[in-house]
Every structure is written in structure tokens, then in C-alpha cells.
Amino acid sequence: MEWKKLVDVLKGHVVYLQTHNFPDPDALASAYGLQVFLKAHGVEASICYAGKIDKSSTRHMLDVFGIKAIHIDDIDNMAEDDYIVTVDAQKHNSNIADFTGSEVACIDHHPTTIPCEYRYSDIRICGACCSIVTDYFIQSETELDENTATALLYGLRMDTNSFNRGVTDFDIEIFAYLHKLADNQKIINMHNNTMEIEDLHAYGEAIRNIVIYENIGYAMIPFDCPDALIAMISDFILSLDVVEFSIIYAKRNGGYKFSVRNETEGYHAGKVTEEALRGLGGGGGHSCMAGGMITAENVPLLGVDPDYTIRQRFYEVIKAAGEASDNS
């Protein structure tokens, strides 16, 4: 993309780099990398988010790399004419709040579900948003320091599950570039300490509630837990030899939060999730990974046995997708 255009759009304005509401390592690292890149080209920017940073391992990442991410409640002077760049997220999606400023740019690696006009957009389907941000350093020949390179490589590793999920040739090229610059031992140390003691309770509940039908694994967690943890459990269930499509959901605010994983070519996790949750909340994502939610006001639509209804809705969509693939 034309990185100069992004710089030109932002110059002379108060700039915020907004992640999705519950920023994960890829969101924080890509926002940080973009902050460093823009500063090298004369644009100061602040990283901000709504929601919260759930996992202590992700909060630890802020300290390790010196990332300052500001919660919206701590910003009392954002104006309507301030510029916002959405990073690892897109305007109008359910996982990003609408701030006072003007969303003029978007940098993201997810498929677009609700089209939006920006003055600058760089939306590429790849394994991690960190790959896109790193490409700006490469294309502009901007110096990339070890700390920023390490943060970007960590975000890339985490969002691709150590290059086992959604990886493209582009991500591999970026990995080769970052690997030469990063402190790889620091990444290994951080990657080996991502699970917390409290996480085991959620794993235990998911294992206790798991239902496997054909090649689909379902599990319900009867309490709220971080998005990142739900995703980790979804990856865990997918690792079972009989599961090729995992659907994990946790109770949240009277509704449900979903993490969906797929390892087959016949299905698209994002499209399946979007269709299965249509009319109940929303969802979408990549072919191999997706997320979604059912809002509290729509839970009564699930009937007397919500778990059965959820399983049935996903099964019918997956079955239809499989039949369509067989006939193509």
C-alpha cells in the first residue's frame, strides 16, 4: 500500500490508534509498531482502546515492550476533529467502540463485514495485522529497532498460533525479516508463559461440557472469561483427532461469546459463524478462525435448551456448506 498516503492523511492532526475493545497481542503489537513507524515520519499518535486487557500475560507484554495503551475512560479531551486509525479492527464491527474522533484510516487483516469509507485503508487477508505494519517499515526502508521488531514478531506468532493457523506466504516473508532483527529468546520466554492458573478452571468446564458430533466439537463455558482464553480453548478442542471444526462459547453479560476454529477446506469459519448467529447477534472472520456473540436480548430466541439450539444452528449451516462444496 501507499504508506506515504497514510502519513500525509495524518500529518498535522491529533492521532489515535484504536484497537478492538479487548486487545490481544497482535492488536497491541501492530498498534505499537504503527506508532513507532508514524513517529519516524513525523506523526505522533496515541494507542487507545475500550473494554479491557483481560489476560495478565497480555498486560505483561505492555511492560516488556514499553507499550502505553490508554483506556478511553482516561482520555477526556478527544475531539470530533481528532483522527482515528482503527488497527486490527474495522469501524462498525461489534468488537470496536465508536469513539468521539473521526475514523479516517483502517489497517486490518480481517475480512470486511460492514463496508466503510476511509481516507486511507489497508485491509489485507493474512495471518496477523503485525505483518501489514511490518511491511510499512520494509517498503519505506524505515529503520526497525530490536524492541519493536520483537513486539511485532510476538504478535505475529500469537495470532497465527505459532504459524499453525491462517498463515500466508506474506506472513512467512515477514517472519523471515523480523526473525533477523528480534530478540527471539524473549519471544520464547513470553510464549511459554501465556497460561494462568485461573485458566485451568475454564479448560475444565469446557472439557466437562464437550459434545462431539461427527467432526464438530462444541463446548460451553458457564461463566465469563477473556476472549483470548476462549480462543485458546477453541484451539485446544480443535487439536482432538476427531475434531475438525470447534465451536466454543462462554456466558457473557447475559449472552454468549463465541470462538470458532476450522481446519478443513470445505468450510469457512467466518461465513459459518455469521450465518449460524444471524438474527441472534453477529459473527464473522477468516476461513480458519472466527468469533461471534449472541446478545442478551436474543437469548430467549434460543428456546428452553439454548445449547441444543446453538449446536443445531451451527450443524445445519456446516452441513449445508459441506453439501455445497461437494456439488461445486
How many folded domains does the chain comprise?
Answer: 2
Q: Do residues 210 and 244 share a domain?
A: yes
Do 16 and 149 fall within a single domain?
yes
Residues 233 and 320 in one domain: yes
Same-domain check for residues 109 and 214: no
For residue 328, what pLDDT is reported?
A: 58
> Do 216 and 129 lie in a common domain?
no
Provide the pLDDT for residue 218: 97
Q: Where among 191, 214, 243 does a domain terminate?
A: 191
Is it the case that residue 316 has pLDDT exceeding 60? Answer: yes
CATH number, position 120: 3.90.1640.10
CA separation, residue 243 to residues 63, 149, 218, 246, 264 (Å): 37, 35, 9, 7, 10
Closest listed residue to residue 198, CA positions, set 228, 240, 157: 228
Amino acid residing at 180: K
* pLDDT (mean) for 68-95: 94
Give residue 1's pLDDT band: very low, low, confident or very high (50, 70, 90): low
Answer yes or no: do 230 and 179 share one domain. no
One domain, residues 168 and 269: no
Chain centroid to CA 36: 21
Confidence check: pLDDT of 147 > 60 = yes
Decide: 149 and 182 in contact? Cβ < 8 Å: yes
Q: For residue 71, is pLDDT > 80? A: yes
- 163 pLDDT higher than 90: no
AA letter at 188:
I
Q: Which three cell numbers stand for residue 155?
A: 504478535
233 and 279 assigned to the same domain: yes
What is the structure's pLDDT at 162? Answer: 82
Residue 114 pLDDT class (50, 70, 90 cuts): confident
Which of 82 and 286 is assigned the larger pLDDT?
A: 82
- Domain at 229, CATH number: 3.10.310.40
Taking the C-alpha atoms of residue 34 and residue 43, their distance in angstroms, rounded to an integer, is 10
Of the pLDDT bands very low, low, confident and very high (cuts 50, 70, 90), residue 324 is low
Strand partners, 45: 15
Write down which residue in 159, 191, 223 finishes a domain: 191
| 162 and 208 co-located in one domain | no
Q: Say yes or no: 216 and 186 in one domain.
A: no
The model's pLDDT over 248-286, given as tens digits with 9 standing for 90+, comes to 999 998 999 999 999 988 889 999 999 999 999 988 888
Residue numbers of the domain that contains 49? 3-191
Residues 309, 233 share a domain: yes
Q: Are residues 154 and 7 in the same domain?
A: yes
> In a 3-state reduction of DSSP, which class is residue 197?
coil
Confidence of residue 228 (pLDDT cuts 50, 70, 90): confident
Distance separating the N- and C-terminal Cα atoms of the chain: 34
Q: Which of 161, 191, 221 is the last residue of a domain?
A: 191
Please provide the size of the chain in residues.
328
pLDDT digits (tens, 9 = 90+) for 167-225: 899 999 999 999 999 998 998 888 776 777 888 999 999 999 999 999 999 999 999 98
